[in-house]
């Protein structure tokens, strides 16, 4: 059986992107963690995917690329490559005009090959894959057989108009990753090597989930229901149309579903410890970051008002917002009010003036990947969040100036 290359129309690359990112099916990466030691095969698969072309399938990379990008010794890199071949995740190497190449096997085809299809099912699958003789209706004698291949993960039903195929190959579930995740920046370990060094196979698909489930354009990162840093807050003082709030960092909080189900076991204590070890490792490795945002509230439907990045978080312009907000807040309250806030919160708070009608305001640490692909989603995040930083900074600087003039 063979499968044709899937179209990438509608993908981040489809509108004239200059590249610098690649796609990988997260299910294939997670499947790779089930073979060998679970870690080396998975990072090797990501390294191979980095060197695929527009089809996200054919790669010229091999043992050397794995060795150089993951930090594995040559022997271990070669063993990881052979592990992927035995698992059926990649094909055996072939020699062409451009050199030795391999193919990353599509998830649907992989499921079909592992399902030990009957001769009839194999024939019908080939028919659908060829696209030369599509199954157009339920009256087709192969319709029921094709439908049975949906349960095996090989095909998908379509909402096709009359005269169009009722089935198509199971589509890949792409995660778009930046090339720098694999290539690094010319010095030291690559990010992919640091991911391998964590030595927990569950952390690899967890990082891919952080890319897959993050909505940079809407939320600035992962939806905070999944994982966020909590801040304790206190309302300090209302001045004009703004109320100054104080915030002190508390702890990271998460829900099991959807990020951490692979860490869950009957031993709740051990499960929780493994979960937080994984999150702390990704933070320490510089693969994800925790960036403060002022949000309307914690209820479903509330959204971020603007970024509030604390020291060592986020981009310089994001940190400038927090600095300006804190300075404005300090100018708007008296020393007595500040001391009261310290007493209430147990530490020196970060201050932020917020329009007074926003009564459920919170400071939330939103989690996002550090290395971001240059996709349309990232561009939308820049427009919705990053490009607004200068305006927010100017607002807070104006509030500070007005407060200082009033006090003079």
Dump pLDDT digits (tens) for 82-110: 999 999 999 999 987 777 899 999 999 99
Inform me whether the pLDDT recorded for 2 exceeds 60.
Answer: no
Q: What confidence category does residue 311 fall into, taking pLDDT thresholds of 50, 70 and 90?
A: very high
What pLDDT does 190 receive? 97
Average pLDDT of the residues of the chain: 93
Q: Is the pLDDT of residue 327 over 60?
A: yes
Beta pairing class for 58-59 and 94-96: unpaired
* Band of pLDDT at residue 372, cut at 50, 70 and 90: very high
Residue 13 has pLDDT above 60, yes or no: no
> How high is the pLDDT of residue 19?
62
| Residue with tokens 């695929």, as numbered in its chain | 52
Task: Please compute the mean of the pLDDT values over residues 50-72 and round it to a whole number.
Answer: 95
Question: Where are the domains positioned within the chain?
Answer: 21-106+173-197, 109-169, 217-407
Judge whether residue 221 has pLDDT over 50: yes
pLDDT for the residue 367:
98
Q: Which is nearest to 325 in space by CA: 352, 299, 361?
A: 352
Topology at the third CATH level for domain 21-106+173-197: Arc Repressor Mutant, subunit A (1.10.10)
pLDDT band per the 50, 70, 90 thresholds, residue 322: very high
**Range with the poorest average pLDDT among 146-150, 161-165, 396-400:** 161-165
Is the per-residue pLDDT at 254 higher than 90? yes
Which helix H or strand E contains 174, and what residues bound it? strand 174-178
pLDDT band at residue 10 under the 50/70/90 scheme = very low
Burial of 144 (0-12, 13-18, 19+ CB in 10 A): exposed
In this model, does residue 319 exceed pLDDT 50? yes
Q: Is beta strand 304-307 parallel, antiparallel or unpaired with respect to 362-369? A: unpaired
Residue 354 has a pLDDT of 98
User: Quick one: average pLDDT of 164-181?
Assistant: 96
Cβ neighbours of residue 11 closer than 8 Å, sequence gap 6 or more:
23, 174, 176
């Amino acid at each position: 059986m063979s499968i044709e290359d899937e179209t990438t129309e509608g993908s981040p690359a489809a509108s004239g992107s200059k590249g610098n990112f690649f796609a990988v099916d997260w299910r294939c990466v997670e499947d790779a963690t089930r073979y060998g030691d679970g870690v080396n095969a998975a990072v090797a698969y990501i390294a191979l995917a980095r060197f695929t072309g527009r089809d996200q399938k054919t790669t010229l990379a091999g043992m050397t690329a794995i060795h150089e990008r993951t930090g594995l010794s040559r022997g271990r890199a070669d063993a990881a490559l052979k592990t992927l071949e035995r698992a059926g995740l990649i094909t055996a190497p072939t020699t062409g005009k451009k050199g030795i190449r391999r193919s990353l096997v599509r998830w649907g085809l992989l499921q079909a090959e592992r399902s030990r299809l009957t001769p009839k099912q194999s024939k019908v699958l080939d028919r659908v894959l060829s696209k030369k003789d599509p199954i157009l209706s339920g009256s087709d004698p192969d319709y029921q057989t094709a439908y049975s291949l949906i349960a095996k993960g090989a095909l998908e039903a379509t909402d096709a108009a009359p005269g169009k195929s009722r089935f198509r190959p199971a589509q890949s579930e792409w995660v778009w990753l930046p090339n720098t995740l694999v290539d690094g920046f010319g010095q030291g370990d690559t990010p992919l090597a640091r991911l391998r060094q964590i030595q927990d196979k569950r952390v690899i698909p967890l990082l891919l989930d952080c890319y897959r489930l993050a909505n940079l354009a809407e939320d600035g990162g992962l939806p905070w229901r999944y994982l966020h840093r909590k801040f304790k807050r206190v309302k300090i003082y209302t001045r004009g149309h703004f109320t100054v709030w104080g915030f002190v960092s508390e702890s990271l909080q998460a829900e099991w579903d959807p990020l951490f189900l692979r860490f869950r076991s009957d031993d709740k204590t051990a499960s929780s410890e493994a979960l937080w070890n994984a999150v702390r490792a990704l933070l320490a490795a510089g693969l994800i970051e925790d960036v403060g945002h002022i949000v309307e509230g914690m209820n479903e439907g509330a959204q971020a008002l603007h970024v509030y990045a604390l020291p060592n978080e986020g981009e310089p312009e994001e940190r400038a917002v927090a600095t300006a907000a804190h300075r404005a807040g300090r100018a708007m309250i008296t020393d007595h009010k500040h001391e009261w806030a310290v007493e209430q919160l147990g530490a020196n708070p970060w201050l932020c003036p917020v329009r007074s009608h926003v009564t459920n305001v919170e400071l939330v640490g939103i989690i996002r990947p550090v290395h971001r692909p240059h996709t349309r989603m990232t561009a939308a995040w820049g427009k919705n969040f990053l490009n607004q930083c200068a305006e927010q900074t100017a607002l807070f600087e104006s509030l500070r100036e007005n407060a200082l003039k009033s006090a003079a």
